[in-house]
Amino acid sequence: MISLTPKLEKESESPLYDQLYRYIRKQIEDGSLAVNDRLPSIRQLSAHLVVSKNTVEAAYQQLLSEGYLQSRPRSGIFVLPLEQVPEVEGKPGASVRQQSEKPLHESSLQGRVGTIDFEYGDVELELFPVKAWKRCLAEAMDNRLHEVIAYGDRQGHLGLREEIARYLFQSRGVACSSHQIFLSAGTAHAVSLLCQLLPLTERIAMEEPGYNGVRAVFANHGKDVVQIPLEEDGLSIEALQGCGANVVYVTPSHQFPIGIVMPVQKRGKLLQWAYEQGGYILEDDYDSEFRYQGQPIPALKALDRSDRVIYLGTFSKSFLPGARLSYVVLPESLADTYRNGLQNYSQSVSTLVQTAMYLFMRGGAFERHIRKMKNLYQSRHRALLRAIHDQLGSRVGIIGQKSGMHLLLDVYGRECEELIQLAAERGVQVYSPMKHWTNPAECPRSYVMLGFAGVQEEQIREGVSLLRQAWFE
């Protein structure tokens, strides 16, 4: 057995689990722990170090979720390879440009002329794991051709569903089985299928403002969408109680577009509401991988003791928008109804993509990728906050800066349209979040939206400097 001998200091300000986490991470990074080394069990290590099992578990959990370790069923916990040097194909630093702005999962046709584009929904091309993904595609074609050609399981590739279940447990605390997971071709498609196959009530509540893509799907299925105003800590439970809906769509990990991270107390109240109503919560956890401040808060689904949460996840933000691969985790009580309805439908996600994604997750490449992107986006996020502070100072307020791939600026006393125009003249594209208000006129005129995931740090600094010139000089 490998030996771990950290010096843990009980007097330190840093908690024991954190010291242990850092120690193991360092061992991996400097090669003292090699790829595929098996770690001691939680019990062994806690006995060895004379610390509680919780301490070891918390450290392991963190390392698992950051992709340093991998838990293999019936085998144990193993060291994963560290990311390789970024595989650059194409222009260094070129980010993936989409045809249009992408709020959450969807997109619209806004112009883009600038050289620096703070478009929400872009992902970074430079760090895309081209080689690893190509290997998975090739393996799927070479060794699993029968999976790739056929329609496939209508619920989605079983192995992939199992990998997703494992990932959700490790990264989001969501305990579910592959039986409850249903793949879909994007989140709009998932919500459409929920409307088609489940007996959801006609009236559905949403945060206001809230993600316009899902609002459109509800409306296009004849639903009566009720707006629930936001408070400091997320949607108003009081307004929800009085609204007559018993289904609500929320983005608790990172309210879209405002960016509120719903605290755990409010999560409890929301779950209580659903329980008392006999209703359901649609939890859209679209970018929860990217959190930069504060303690991790478990998904609503992880806190859901009475089986009232329908969880929506996607690979569009965390990995590959073009895969068109999202998923739903249904409460046990709804899974059979949904599966029955599905008897008349085929699975809509490309089977090649499903099989390749299964191989990509199974081999640990997905976790490594997430870890890499999290570091990258965190750096960009930090660079953006600093540039805004340095360049724009007290003339703007920042809204929703704890996580995700975008934030809002409140440019005090100014008008969005003018701001966008002035920025465009300097070659910088910024956007209005207006369309996420049911009545766009209620969006504060002084708000502009900046996505930063697809913009390099240097461009971020230059872009914000140009914004200062455009808006204040």
Of residues 188-247, those binding a second copy (CB under 8 A)? 188-189, 192, 196-197, 212-213, 215-217, 220-222
Q: Which residue has the tokens 């793949």?
A: 183
Q: Which of 62, 53, 74 is nearest to 296 (CA)?
A: 62
Among residues 155, 216, 83, which one has the least CA distance to residue 165? 155
Question: 106-141: buried (b, 16+ CB within 10 Å) or exposed (e) per residue?
Answer: bbeeeeeebebbbbbbbbbbbbbbeebbebbbeebe
Tell me the C-alpha distance between 45 and 187, whole Å: 41
Residue 187 contacts residue 214 (beta carbons within 8 Å): yes
Q: What residues are paired with 411 via a beta bridge?
A: 396
Give the nearest distance from C-beta 180 to a second copy in angstroms. Answer: 14
CB of 17 to a second copy, least distance (A): 13
The minimum distance between CB 280 and a second copy, in angstroms, equals: 18
The number of residues that bind a second copy (CB under 8 A) is: 81
Contacting range for a second copy; rule: CB under 8 A; set: 169-177, 285-293, 341-349, 406-414? 341-349
Q: Which is nearer to a second copy, 81 or 173 (CB)?
A: 81
Determine the interface stretch with a second copy among 135-143, 327-335, 379-387, 409-417 (rule: CB under 8 A). 135-143
- For a second copy, the binding residue among 90, 111, 242, 393 (CB under 8 A) is 90
Q: Considering only 141-149, 253-261, 388-396, 409-417, which stretch makes contact with a second copy by CB under 8 A?
A: 141-149
Interatomic CA distance for residues 140 and 353, integer angstroms: 9
- Answer for which of 27, 61, 255, 316 binds a second copy (CB under 8 A) is 316
Binding residues for a second copy restricted to 37-66, rule: CB under 8 A: 65-66
Tokens 């975008």 belong to residue: 406
The verdict on 455 binding a second copy (CB under 8 A) reads: no
Residue nearer to a second copy on the CB measure, 324 or 380: 324
Query: Binding mask 412-451 vs a second copy (x if CB under 8 A, - otherwise)?
Result: ----------------------------------------
Alpha carbon distance 303, 268 (integer Å): 8
Alpha-carbon gap, residue 352 to 147, rounded angstroms:
8
Site string for a second copy, 351-390 (x = CB under 8 A): xxx-------------------------------------
- What's the DSSP call for residue 101? B
DSSP secondary-structure letter at 81? P
